[in-house]
Amino acid sequence: LYWWGRDAAQVWPVVTAVLIVACPCALALSMPFAYGHTMRLLGRRGLFLRDAEVVERLAHVDTVVFDKTGTLTARESYDLAFEGRPLDAREVMQVRSLARNSAHPLSAEVYRSLQGDLGRVSGVEEESGAGIRGDVEGVPVRLGSAAFCGAPSAHREPGVATVDVAIGGLHRGRFTLRKRVRAGMEKAVGGARGMAATHLLT
């Protein structure tokens, strides 16, 4: 009765506001809307959740587990270095030529990282879990494990792969390959440590 005879332009906004506040439908709709909006924001950053209920459970997470390869580190992206007397141009050619014939991802990385000419390769043999051998311009060359290349086993630093080199029957040194950490991962892991226990799978 209070609104009888009053301007309808004033009545409808007030009535609508009262219905929205008093009706439980608004509360029922607010949670799905919030979850859906959160999933859209995460999706824009490449993080996709199985369902909306995961959003609510995220508030109770106490442990975060990272898979190193391809998650914290970039796929097929290494920092390569050589331990031993520097290889001359002919030796680089021999190593690169043999590495080109290998299907192993570490040999492929050695091939991509080295620059120079390629030589004629013959008698190629690849042993699973050991390495590859062949003759490059008539010189026997081996790439692979320390034992395969006639060298004593070296201490392996966690997260670092090695490819030993033997030329002409003599061990010449080894390549070390470190996975490159993806941009922004240090900040992401640091933030996770502040909220939960963190673990790394290698």
How high is the pLDDT of residue 171? 95
In a domain, 196, yes or no: no
How high is the pLDDT of residue 142? 96
Q: How many domains does the chain have?
A: 2
In a domain, 36, yes or no: yes
Q: Which residues are catalytic?
A: 67
Q: 140 and 46: one domain? A: no
**Which distant-in-sequence residues (6+ apart) come within 8 Å of 101 by Cβ?**
121, 124, 126, 132, 134
In a domain, 20, yes or no: yes
In a domain, 199, yes or no: no
Q: 30 and 111: one domain? A: no
Residue span of the structural domain in which 90 resides = 70-181
Q: 141 and 56: one domain? A: no
Q: 43 and 99: one domain? A: no
pLDDT average per 10 residues of sequence, the chain (202 residues) = 57 68 62 76 79 76 70 65 91 94 90 91 92 95 93 76 92 85 66 71 64
Q: 26 and 74: one domain? A: no
How high is the pLDDT of residue 40? 83
In a domain, 147, yes or no: yes
How high is the pLDDT of residue 21? 66
How high is the pLDDT of residue 22? 63
Q: 53 and 109: one domain? A: no
In a domain, 115, yes or no: yes
Q: 75 and 120: one domain? A: yes
The model's pTM is: 0.56
Q: 24 and 90: one domain? A: no
How high is the pLDDT of residue 1? 45
How high is the pLDDT of residue 44? 84
Helices within the chain (DSSP H only): 8-22, 24-44, 53-57, 89-99, 105-113, 185-193
Instruction: Write the burial class of residue 55 (CB in 10 Å: 0-12 exposed, 13-18 middle, 19+ buried).
Output: middle
How high is the pLDDT of residue 4? 55
CA distance linking residue 71 with residue 102, whole number of Å: 26
